[in-house]
Structure 1
Amino acid sequence: MENQKGLPIGNEVKGNVVLAQADIKAPKAAPTQVASVTPDAKKRVAKKGELNPIFEGADFIDIIERDENLSIRTTSFVPQNTKPDKTFTIELNEGKTYIGQGVVYDGFLMDGGVPGQTIVVQEGDIVEMKIKNTGSVPHGASIHAAYTQTSKYVGKVQPGETKSVVFRATVPGVYMYHCAPGGHAIPMHVLFGQYGMMVVEPKETKYKLEEELGRKPDINLYLLQHEFYASGADAINGDLLYTAFNGKVFRYVEEPIVGRPGDYVRIHYLNIGPNRTSTFHIVGILWDYAYWQGHPDKFQYGGQSITSGPTDSWVVEFRLPPDEGSYLMLDHAVGATSRGSIGVIVADGKAEPGPKTYLAEAPAYTEAEKAEQIEKATRTISPFGIGNAEADRPVYYGPEQKEVFVKIIGNSFHPKVIEIEPGTKVTWINEDVFTFMAGEYSGIHNAIGINGPERFATPLLAHAETASHTFTTAGENEYMCAPHPYMKGKIIVRQPKVVEEPKGGCSTTGSPAGAAGLVLIALGLLFVRRRN
């Protein structure tokens, strides 16, 4: 039996840590999220040379027969009415989540946070993925573990809809899954936070260290590295504000991974990016084995680090040395380290024995905790909207600036907030390039006033097109993009300066001549005083 996260019942869940209640010697619990093959699934297993009965009546039967009898693994295709061994529901929407260090992130969410849930299945499982859109814009899914068509089933999920796709997990490894509504929205929704980790565990081939030690790991760490951006422009240019492991800046500094000297550790590592290359390293550790993309057959001995571009993944295995202390894990591209991707593994001889599992998903908070975090946040960032005053300060333009340019890039206005003099012309220029399709799926934008003293609306702008409006009335003008209503900007028009005229009589302070007169009078008085 499994709970709603797919974890075997009998495990104790504490936040992001799953503590199994048994060991091989005592006896051991089943691996996280991997269930035994159901009787229905057993009936579907076909011998080489025989067509699996799940394909009866399917199109392209000649291709299926060929692929089922190759020496390499088959594709993930199964008819969509195939009964799944495992079902997972992914909820997509927009909102706020706490990412640590007093910072709230206002972006696109999976399962209420960034990243989404950790999905673990076994090689050969028939998997159903349900994509539920509880947001206000179209969402979708791309599942990298699926060697088959997924976009036509879950590529465009409208608000309020739930769609699903069924596939067979045929190739073991560590994979990314992410939101993919289609077109321009695919990179935007990934940049804005909608992604997660999926692991296909090998069914028969064991990882080398497990084979040598004759047991499962003491610590199973699913580790996802990712980035946060304060604006769409920063996201497009790769100018990150924070990096994190599993949804929180410096998470495993505040909440170290705790094991014992001699523990067998397995890390399923995935660099989401979505822009930076990582070189993951643990101080004081050399890998016993490292497996490219997490595939058990693609292993190498030793090594100090693993190099990963966006979506690259590894499984690494090692033993904690017989020496108590802290082992620092970090991205050795140290600019990212200083922004949050660093953590600690503590070897403590008095620690509770494993097995322990740490999942690659956002920390779980109650609604009350979320509300308190949002209220007390020192900074709120949003890649497409306006964060708090500290995060998105106004850019000031003086009276000498007769025209101001606002770029539209990465589904955001840049700068987001400007302050100008009355009579200043604001010109928007669309720097997003993908202008095929329409609506959320396109990089076509406009600017339309939604609140403030002036009414304005530009036409829809394709790449490099411009439109302008001259602001004459003092006040704050909030605006958005009609095809992407989460994109927000603000134009503050200052009050015009009033020069007061003298009320009458002789004024000696209103002009340079008057000031010069005062100087002459003072010098005259000084001269008379000296003569006396």
Structure 2
Amino acid sequence: MENNNDKTMDRRSFLRGTTLASGAALGAITLAGNAGAAGTTAPTVLGDDQIASAEVKVAPSLSEAEIAKLPRVKQEMVAPPFAPKHDLIAKGGPKVVEVTLTIEEMPWQIDDEAETIALTFHGSVPGPLIVVHEGDYVEVTLENPETNAMEHNVDFHASTGALGGGGLTHVLPGETAVMRWKATKPGAFVYHCAPGGSMIPYHVIKGMNGAVVVLPRDGLTDGRGKAITYDKMYYIGEQDFYVPKDENGEYMKFTEAGEDFSEVMELARGLIPTHEVFNGKVGALTGDGAMKAKVGEKVLFIHSQANRDCRPHLIGGHWNYSWEAGSFDDIAGRGHETAIIRGGSAGVFHYEFLQPGVYAYVNHNLIEATELGAVGHMVVEGEWDDDLMKEIKKGGTS
């Protein structure tokens, strides 16, 4: 691709100036009304078919002086599918959880043939999983190194006001923004870059999204009074990519973020991705990258898709408990086989592995799984249980 310095500066000016203007205008809509405490709804369950009226519990508002006295914890960012260290049940009162997200615009190999310039939070697709407890404060430092070409920000679906913080975190290359939000709703939520206009879908489909889990302070329950624990947490971020091809049918290659904006968006408007993958690449969760467990271990899966609906399914198992819409205020589903994740949300699924072997974790739109790449593996060690399944006969018909 032709890329002289003048054209690069023109493109950077366009990418920075137009997104900053549109983002600032959108942010101004909500900033004036961004005050007051948020409420948390906790339903009291009477039975499987009866739910009492929800009692609204308003989390106490703290002054800046009170927040300044809270303990501070720096959460180490780890690449998916792994989750940061966390407690299943909160210890003590609210904390300020410090999170640093460094934006990286980087070459990204999707499969053996297709590559792109990915826009990432912290160098992974999806961005790192953040785990806090209800009532905690999340203090986010968003860093946009001067070596980047584009303006960015971050919108947390778990937060309240200012476009999820997107109106407060616009950063040009070389800038840093710090923003604090309160985790008022227990559940799993998407976060993503949303600089404004057409740049919103462009940044999301280039990999710039992740998820936050807000655990109840007293730990997970099924909504019927039963506590739910887990031994491991895995994060699967499903990503749709749109990689344009040239007149010869070859995937086009670009050298700088934003250079492919017109081609990618023209392709994306057709709503048919060239790739639908887990954790950024075809095969990212297979082979050496496969998720692992042992028979008897309980695993909590977090599955997000920031742009399109998807259908996670575990071949060889089914969810013991599921929060399909991501809200831990919901009564957990039981024994579901396949879930629907709405585009722009995250779901949570719990499973205790009872048989060893390789489980396929797929998008059960099987075209997207087998043809576009939405397949991962769960490798489980342990002893086989013949009571659950046994091969009786194999071979000829006689």
TM-score interval, smaller chain: 0.5 to 0.7
- 1:309 corresponds in structure 2 to 342
Distance change >3 Å, CA 294–CA 258, structure 1 → 2: same
After TM superposition, the structure 1 = structure 2 runs for residues 195-274 of structure 1, keeping only pairs within 5 Å, are 195-208=209-222, 216-230=229-243, 231-254=264-287, 255-272=289-306, 274=307
Tell whether 2:369 aligns with 1:337.
yes
Name the amino acid aligned to 1:128: E
- 1:130 corresponds in structure 2 to 141
Percent pairwise identity: 25
Name the amino acid aligned to 2:138: V
> Which TM-score applies when normalising by structure 2?
0.64
Query: Do the aligned partners of 2:187 and 2:215 also contact (CA within 8 Å) in 1?
Result: yes
Secondary structure of the residue aligned to 2:322 is strand
Secondary structure of the residue aligned to 1:295 is coil
The Cα shift of 1:193 comes to 1.9
Tell whether 2:275 aligns with 1:291.
no
The Cα shift of 1:65 comes to 7.3
Q: Distance in 2 between matches of 1:119 and 1:253?
A: 23
> Which TM-score applies when normalising by structure 1?
0.49
Name the amino acid aligned to 1:222: Y
Name the amino acid aligned to 1:182: G
* 1:229-262 deviation line (CA, Å, top 9, x unaligned): 1132222222212122122212222232222222
Q: Distance in 1 between matches of 2:266 and 2:291?
A: 35
Distance change >3 Å, CA 78–CA 128, structure 1 → 2: farther
Q: Distance in 2 between matches of 1:302 and 1:192?
A: 34
Secondary structure of the residue aligned to 1:336 is helix
Q: Distance in 1 between matches of 2:367 and 2:173?
A: 38
Name the amino acid aligned to 1:280: P
Name the amino acid aligned to 1:173: G
Secondary structure of the residue aligned to 2:316 is coil
Tell whether 2:121 aligns with 1:106.
no
- 2:189 corresponds in structure 1 to 175
After TM superposition, the structure 1 = structure 2 runs for residues 381-460 of structure 1, keeping only pairs within 5 Å, are none
Name the amino acid aligned to 1:303: H
- When Rg is computed on C-alpha atoms for both structures, the one with the higher figure is 1
Query: Do the aligned partners of 1:77 and 1:167 also contact (CA within 8 Å) in 2?
Result: no
- 1:117 corresponds in structure 2 to 128
5+ residue gaps, structure 2, are 1-31, 42-53, 73-95, 244-263, 384-398
* 1:95-147 deviation line (CA, Å, top 9, x unaligned): 21233446432232221232222211111111111111122221111111102
Name the amino acid aligned to 1:228: F
The Cα shift of 1:269 comes to 1.5
Q: Distance in 2 between matches of 1:68 and 1:282?
A: 32
5+ residue gaps, structure 1, are 1-58, 351-532
Q: Of residues 318, 326, 336 in structure 1, which corresponds to 2:358?
A: 326
After TM superposition, the structure 1 = structure 2 runs for residues 57-68 of structure 1, keeping only pairs within 5 Å, are 64=36
Q: Distance in 2 between matches of 1:189 and 1:148?
A: 21
Query: Do the aligned partners of 1:95 and 1:108 also contact (CA within 8 Å) in 2?
Result: yes
Q: Which runs of 4+ in 1 moved over 4 A?
A: 65-71, 73-82, 209-212
